[in-house]
Amino acid sequence: MTAPVGVVEGADGRLRCPWGTSAEDYVAYHDSEWGRPVHGDDALFERISLEAFQSGLSWITILRRREGFREAFGSFHIPTVAKFTDADRTRLLADAGIIRNRAKIDATLANAGVLVGWEPGELDALVWSHAPDPATRPAPRTGADVPAVTEESAALAAALKRRGIRFVGPTTAYALMQACGLVNDHMEACDFR
């Protein structure tokens, strides 16, 4: 029997979005994380940072280095990262456990410096205020039904930029929305939708 349109059958017989079976690391991420609601300022700071580091790279590259990123960036605890010094920046630029991109490292450090001045829960509230009404978003049947940018992701990126957050455009904002459960882009026939 062939799988319904838009999904593939995994080794365990479960139907998944096609990307969700392309590597072992993706299976766990797809099944238990991607598209699930993420709340909390530090958790969202981590996702914003990782999505920025992913820009121009494949997500698997970031996923496989995520623990290295967490170690290097103090578990993405905003007050900790906001206190990073020039010596920390030099350390990050030499850390083979992360992506050593100067612009992305600088953006992460600058973003922590901005976010440390926000009220607790403010980042969470700002991000989630841009979640579209699920009733207005039909379940995608195939990858062609999944946009790279939406009106909401453009608005989220603009809101973050206005507040001083760097390295987040509409495409990065949409990837953030997918990863953090603001939108559910699991395929219609995916067992994990």
Cα 190 from Cα 15, distance rounded (Å)? 5
- Is residue 130 a known part of a binding site? no
Cα 115 from Cα 101, distance rounded (Å)? 21
- Is residue 180 a known part of a binding site? no
Verify whether residue 34 is a known catalytic residue. no
Verify whether residue 51 is a known catalytic residue. yes
26, 34, 46, 59: which is the annotated catalytic residue?
59
29, 46, 152, 174: which is the annotated catalytic residue?
29
- Is residue 186 a known part of a binding site? yes
26, 34, 46, 51: which is the annotated catalytic residue?
51
Verify whether residue 128 is a known catalytic residue. no
- Give binding residues for Zn(2+) as ranges: 17, 30, 186, 190
Active-site positions read 29, 51, 59
- Give binding residues as ranges: 17, 30, 186, 190
